[in-house]
């Protein structure tokens, strides 16, 4: 076997491993926090904003750049909205009497 590995193959390797990591990490999430899980995954999938930034990057302003900027705006709604609303929810789960987590652990 000779030659370099196609980037798509490397991507596939990363993809499969990441799905496995996701599978195991998510099953450990406590059901009580499934709503914050959803809002934080929303924020995380908005890392698609890096693609939007690249799209808005070129100097020659054409419609691709405009679309990129719109995508940056949309993804930014999610980045800020997702993380902040998650934080807001998690604040509500703050303990007032600090004993129960020891029982659970």
Partner 1 sequence: MSANLLALWYLAASVLFILALKGLSSPVSARRGNLFGMVGMAIAVLVTLAITKNVAFILVAAAVGGTIGALVARRVQMTQMPELVAAMHSLVGMAAVLIAIAVVNNPSAFGIPDPMPRGNRLELFIGSFVGAVTFSGSVIAFGKLAGLGKKFRLFSSAPVAFGGQHVLNLVLAIVMVAFGVAFFLGEGRAWAPFAAMLAIAFALGVLIIIPIGGADMPVVISMLNSYSGWAAAGIGFSLNNTMLIIAGSLVGSSGAILSYIMCKAMNRSFISVIMGGFGAAEGTAAADGGDKTVRSGSAEDAAFLLANAESVVIVPGYGLAVARAQHAVKEMAQKLIAKGVSVRYAIHPVAGRMPGHMNVLLAEAEVPYDQVFEMEDINGELGTTDVVLVLGANDVVNPLAHEKGSAIYGMPIIEAQKARTVLVNKRSMAVGYAGLDNPLFYMEKTMMVFGDAKKVVEDMVKALE
Under the binding rule (CB under 8 A), the answer on residue 1 touching partner 1 is no
Beta-carbon contacts of residue 89 (< 8 Å; ≥ 6 apart): 35, 36, 39
User: Which residues, 20 to 59, sit near partner 1 by CB under 8 A?
Assistant: 21-23, 25-59
Closest approach of partner 1 to the CB of residue 83, in Å: 5
Which residue stretches of 1-105 are H helix? 7-27, 34-45, 49-56, 63-92, 100-104
User: Which residues, 5 to 24, sit near partner 1 by CB under 8 A?
Assistant: 6-8, 10-11, 14-15, 18-19, 21-23
User: Which residues, 58 to 77, sit near partner 1 by CB under 8 A?
Assistant: 58-59, 62-65, 67-77
User: Which residues, 75 to 104, sit near partner 1 by CB under 8 A?
Assistant: 75-97, 99-101, 103-104
Q: Is 100 helix (H, G, I), strand (E, B) or coil?
A: helix
């Amino acid at each position: 076997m000779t030659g370099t590995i196609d980037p798509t193959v490397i991507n596939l390797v990363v993809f499969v491993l990441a799905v496995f990591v996701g599978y195991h990490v998510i099953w450990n999430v406590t059901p009580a926090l499934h709503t914050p899980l959803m809002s934080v995954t929303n924020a995380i999938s908005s890392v698609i904003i890096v693609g939007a930034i690249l799209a808005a990057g070129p100097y020659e302003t054409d419609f691709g750049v405009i679309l990129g900027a719109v995508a940056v705006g949309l993804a930014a709604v999610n980045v800020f909205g997702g993380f902040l609303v998650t934080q807001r929810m998690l604040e509500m789960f703050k303990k007032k009497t600090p004993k129960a987590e020891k029982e659970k652990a």
